[in-house]
Every structure is written in C-alpha cells, then in structure tokens.
Amino acid sequence: MLELIEKKQRGEELTAEEIARLIAGYGTGAVPDYQMAALLMAIYFQGLSEDETTSLTSALLESGDRWELPAKFHPVLDKHSTGGVGDKTSLLMVPMLAAAGYKVPKMSGRGLAHTGGTIDKLESIPGFRAELSRNDALRQLDDIGCVIMSQSEGLVPAEKKLYALRDVTGTVSQPGLIISSILSKKLASGATHIIIDVKYGSGAFFPSQADAESFARTLVAISRNFKPEVAAAVTDMSQPLGSAVGNALEVAEVLRIAEQRDVECEVSALCIGLGGALLKMAGEVEDAEQGEDILAQTIADGRAAEKLRALVGAQGGDLDAFRREMGDLGRKTCKVAITARSGGVISGLDALAIGQFCHRQGAGRSRKGEAVNPWVGVVLHKKTGDAVAPGDLLAEAYARLDCDQRSVEEAVRSAYIIGEEAPAPRLIGTILTG
C-alpha cells in the first residue's frame, strides 16, 4: 500500500491490477482508512487518467453484486447529479418518470462536503427505510415503478466506504473519483439509460461551465466502456436550486411542488428538461420536447405526487408524521429572519456560502458516520433576479438551537449580492450523449 501511495504521489499511473487490489483490500479492511485517505489525497493532487478512472469504476463495481433486471422492466431509467446545494431533483424526477410508466431503481448517496444527499433528505421522514433487500427493491419496482435506496445488500459496498471517507478528508471534488463513484453506483443497479446532471457554479464541484463540460465529456467517454447508455447535462449551480436548502426542508419543498402541481418552478423545469433528454436517449420519444410534455403532465395531473407518496409509503415513511414534525420546526431549530440592508436587484446568491452554512449547522457531516440534523437549513425568499427594497425578507434560517443569531444572520446575508442588474437566467446548458 505504501508503495502505491508513493507511486501516485509521484504522479505515476496505477495499473488496473493495482487499483483492483487496492479496492479489494479496502473492502475487506486489509487497507485501513488512514492509508486510503493518504492515497485519496495523492489522487486529489495528481489526478486519475481515463484508464485509471475506468479501472477504479470496474473495481468498485466488482466489490459487490450487479443487478440484472428482467427484460419486462426495460428501458430501466436512472439519473444522478454530481451534487449541489438545494439539489432535490431526484425526489421529484424519480416519481415523475415512474408516473410516466418507467422503472427507476435509483441508488443515492448521503451528503458530500457542502452538498446534500438524497438519502439524508429522505431519512428526515419518520420511518423511511433506505436500505432495502434485493427482493424488496425488485418487488417495489414491480409494484410502483420506483425505488430510492442506499447501497445495501452488497451493492458497491467499497464505493459506500470510499464515499464516506472522501466526505471527511477534503478529497471529494477530484473528477476521476466523482466519475467512478457515480458510474459504479449507476451500473450496479441495472439501469439501461442514465442521465447525469453535471453541475457547475459556486455550489458545485466544478466552478466553471468549461470545467463541467470537460468533466461531462470525460464521463461520457468513460461510460462507453460499459453497457448502459449515458448522457450528461451541464446545469447551473451558482445559486441553490429552488427555495429550500436542508434535509427536511427540501423534502417539504418537493411535496409542495408535487401536491400543488407546480409545473413552472425551477425544480420542475430542471426535472422536466433532464427527463425529456433521458426519454429521447432511450428512444421512447422522437424529440426531447415530446418527453418533456409527457413528464410535465405527470406533475400537472397529480400523478407525480401520488407516485412520490407511494414511494415514501412503500419504504416505510410516514408523511403525516413528517408534516407534524415540520409543524414543530420552531421547537427544533432557532428561526432567524434575514432582511435586505439595501435595495436593488439580487445579482448573485452564493450557493457555496448557503451550503457551507447548512453544513456548519449540522445538515452535513464532519466525521465519518456522524448523524445529521434533519431540521436545519435555509428557506430562500429572494433569488437572483428578484428586486428588493431595504428591509425586505431575503431568507429564513433554521439554525441549531444553540446558535448565535447575529452570526447566522451575517452568514446568510453575506451570500446575497445586491446590485443593479442580474445575470441572464440559465439552468440547463449543453447536453452530451454517448
């Protein structure tokens, strides 16, 4: 192990056999966390070639089972995001696709650095079970068409371990590590067509659109070594997505969007856009617009909401209890209103600052395996492009009960830039298909 750490430290390429040995050893515990952390840091600085990334993807995939889903389920659709702040896309997009009649076995992760994780969000619903046996997952897929699960029952166990280690060692944002993490999970659960939402901007792991496009090209190129068809969409994460950031707050936002049949909001627009491209890639529609119409209709007629409730219920979640808990947020958190000091137009809302604020409040982890606080977060009442007058409410923070209100106010206010004009809105940029 020491030799391999030093080899990578010198910037040399690891062979497929060395990578397979490393991951197998990490899986059994023969390679301890401290050595894997040192290797991750060497990789963070020296990078991974496309060959190394492909080998790492295969080694992670090999660490567990790989599901073959029956042909009657095909096409099996999936989506994944490289991570962002307020990125609750999976919570709406998975039920939307299932409501349109497709099978979606989505394997999701927990929070990573300042970005939230779908599993942490769903676990804010009392009773929700993310760890499903293969039989339960397949039965649920047959019954209701969708599953959102964590890596249980031997699905990419080495990736789960590595993901948790990256989260607390400052090694998340290395592109090859992200690609192998995402692809190994997506390949294991049997999807035939996958869309990856590659986010750029302050709240994402890629600061610029050019970095995200280059990442997307590499991701799609590497995916050609494997069977499913993969597309990548480059989308904006310079400000948080939607209006809520924080585990339970984001679940509540998606419930509201689905139940109020809000087809127009930013979260719906992103899900519809990604879903349209996915249906086009799967050959289910002639063009993406046709796919978008099909998916928008699932929100408009309430089928997406019904499917979301069915998914949560099938995995043990109690939405009545969740709504009661949300009604009691005032006793679980310290609510702080943040108002504008000057008037103008919001010309920027720093997603990273909001994500880091939530992380510090306990929405994310600083140590492996730590419990997160499901209730903390921020509700954004003003976003980029909105006009504000002095004293207007910008946001409400739900901070830890022992918080210092003034520093909460300052941290959230500092994310807002109030100027004279706003940048042109942009949500979805380039879409690359394999």
Query: Is 181 one of the binding residues for ligand URA (CB under 6 A)?
Result: yes
Q: Is 90 in the site for ligand URA (CB under 6 A)?
A: no
Q: Which is nearer to ligand URA, 91 or 100 (CB)?
A: 91
Active site residue 161: no
Residue of 132, 182, 267, 310 that binds ligand URA (CB under 6 A): 182
CB of 358 to ligand URA, least distance (A): 17
Strand partners, 400: none
For residue 78, indicate whether it is catalytic.
Answer: yes
Return the number of the residue (165 or 334) whose C-beta is nearest ligand URA. Answer: 165
Active site residue 118: yes
141 near ligand URA, rule: CB under 6 A = no
Catalytic residue status for 186? yes
From first CA to last CA, the distance across the chain in angstroms is: 35
* Catalytic choice (185, 199, 303, 383): 185
* Smallest separation, CB 16 to ligand URA (Å): 20
Considering the complex, state which of residue 184 and residue 209 has its C-beta at the smaller distance from ligand URA. Answer: 184
Per rule CB under 6 A, count of chain residues that contact ligand URA: 9
Is residue 83 part of the contact set for ligand URA (CB under 6 A)? yes
C-alpha to C-alpha distance for 127 and 166, rounded to whole angstroms: 28
The reply to whether 268 sits near ligand URA by the rule CB under 6 A is no
Residues whose CB is less than 8 angstroms from the CB of residue 368 and which lie 6 or more positions away in sequence, other chains included: 33, 164, 165, 167, 168
Question: Which of helix, strand or coil describes residue 229?
Answer: strand
Specify which residues 432 forms β-bridges with: 232
Taking the complex as a whole, how short is the minimal distance between the CB of residue 82 and ligand URA, in angstroms? Answer: 5
Separation between Cα atoms, residue 151 and residue 226, nearest integer Å: 20
Q: Does 116 bind ligand URA (CB under 6 A)?
A: no
Q: How far apart are CA 68 and CA 190, in angstroms?
A: 5
- Check if 10 is active-site: no
Measured CA distances, 257 to 43, 182, 242, 254, 275 (Å): 41, 27, 10, 5, 17
Q: Determine if 235 is a binding residue for ligand URA (CB under 6 A).
A: no
**Nearest distance, CB of residue 344 and ligand URA, angstroms:** 35
Q: Tell which one of 82, 209, 223, 333 touches ligand URA (CB under 6 A).
A: 82
Q: How many CA atoms lie within 13 A of 67 on its CB side?
A: 28
Nearest CB to ligand URA, comparing residues 186 and 307 = 186
Q: Decide if 81 contacts 42 (C-beta within 8 A).
A: no
Whole-angstrom Cα distance, residue 49 to residue 38? 18
Rounded distance, CA 193 to CA 79, Å? 9
Positions in the binding site for ligand URA (CB under 6 A): 82-83, 109, 112, 177-178, 181-182, 185
Q: Which sequence positions are flagged as catalytic?
A: 78-81, 118, 166, 181, 185-186
